[in-house]
Amino acid sequence: MMPPIPGSSSKGTQLEALLAGESNQVANLANAAALLNQFFEEVNWVGFYLNDGNELVLGPFQGLPACVRIPFGKGVCGTAAQKLETVRVEDVHLFPGHIACDAASESEIVVPIVKDGQLLGVLDIDSPRKNRFDEIDQACLEKFVQALVRFL
């Protein structure tokens, strides 16, 4: 379980306050990754992979260095991008074709970022604990991504 995600509160959000007035996509994604990394417990990688038309390419993140390119349909990120739906994995070692950003990762959640029907990329969060992400985390992260899309 996690505290409320910045961006999901009705009192005006930290995400909106952080991104308001900024139009640079890289800056906004970098701050969004940092914000999530600050508020999520038991995570070891938070970041974005962006659609370059042919595959996903590493974007702003917090964590250890990661693979740069992920084909659509490969690993958790490529699967979420291809299906355009959130993928939550309790044990990454049981996910066929899993691509590790950090060897310590045990569970993962990936949320596609879609704007005007087009895939912009995915939000990827890894944890060193198995079964770290639940339905509440998923719902909150999907709302976070919906709020973020307005600034991309």
Picking from 107, 103, 113, 102, the residue whose alpha carbon sits closest to that of residue 131 is: 107
The token duo for 32 is 């969004």
> Which pLDDT value is given to residue 28?
96
pTM of the model: 0.91
Backbone angles phi, psi at 86, to 5 degrees: -65, 140
Region 60-87: mean pLDDT is 96
Q: State the Cα torsion 125-26-122-101 to the nearest 10°.
A: -40
Q: Give CA–CA dist 144/2, Å, rounded.
A: 14
> Which pLDDT value is given to residue 102?
75
